[in-house]
Amino acid sequence: MPEKLVQTRVPKDIAKRIEEAAKRDGDTVAGWVRRLLFRQFGQVFVEAWTRPVGSASPDEGVTSRAQPQFLLRPLRDISASDRVFELHDHTGTPIAPSALAERGSPLAGKGRWVMLRGSPIPWEVAAQHAVGSVVEVTLRPVR
């Protein structure tokens, strides 16, 4: 997806509140504002890939040019840190619950981090379940 840089200025009191919210959510200010905009205007996908715990630098989501293994469609935030996504393969096709039953989860597993494009921290799978014909994955930042 082609991207365009959007810059803006806000009053200092608003900037402070944004910084506090981003810190509370374990995100950068830019990442937090981007998530807010995507939520408002309909984010299509977040690119994601997995790595063995400790094999990637925590900021790989920001610095890596790796091709995504998965595309995640944001659905909702269920807490200050936990976020729910719909799981898609790298082409944007939803991964069916039946595929998980056959192959097991491509994301879940002890010793795996989920890296999200643009995120300064790795994530872990907190929950995963079938909802109708799609798979929902709850991710939590690694602390």
DSSP notation for 84-104: EEEEEETTSPBPPHHHHHHH-
pLDDT reported for residue 105:
67
Q: Is-contact 121 141, C-beta < 8 A? A: yes
93/10 Cα distance (integer angstroms): 38
1: Cβ–Cβ under 8 A, 6 or more apart, which residues?
Answer: 44, 45
Q: In the prediction, which pLDDT does 109 show?
A: 67
pLDDT in the model for residue 58: 63
The pLDDT score that the predictor gives to residue 69 is 87
* pLDDT for the residue numbered 103: 66
Residue 58 phi/psi, 5° resolution? -55, -25
Give this prediction's pTM: 0.67
Query: Which residue type, as a one-letter code, is found at position 88?
Result: H
| pLDDT value, residue 62 | 76
Positive or negative torsion for Cα 23, 5, 60, 106: positive
Give the pLDDT score at 65. Answer: 77
Which stretches of the chain drop beneath a pLDDT of 70? 1-2, 39-40, 42-43, 56, 58-59, 103-106, 108-109
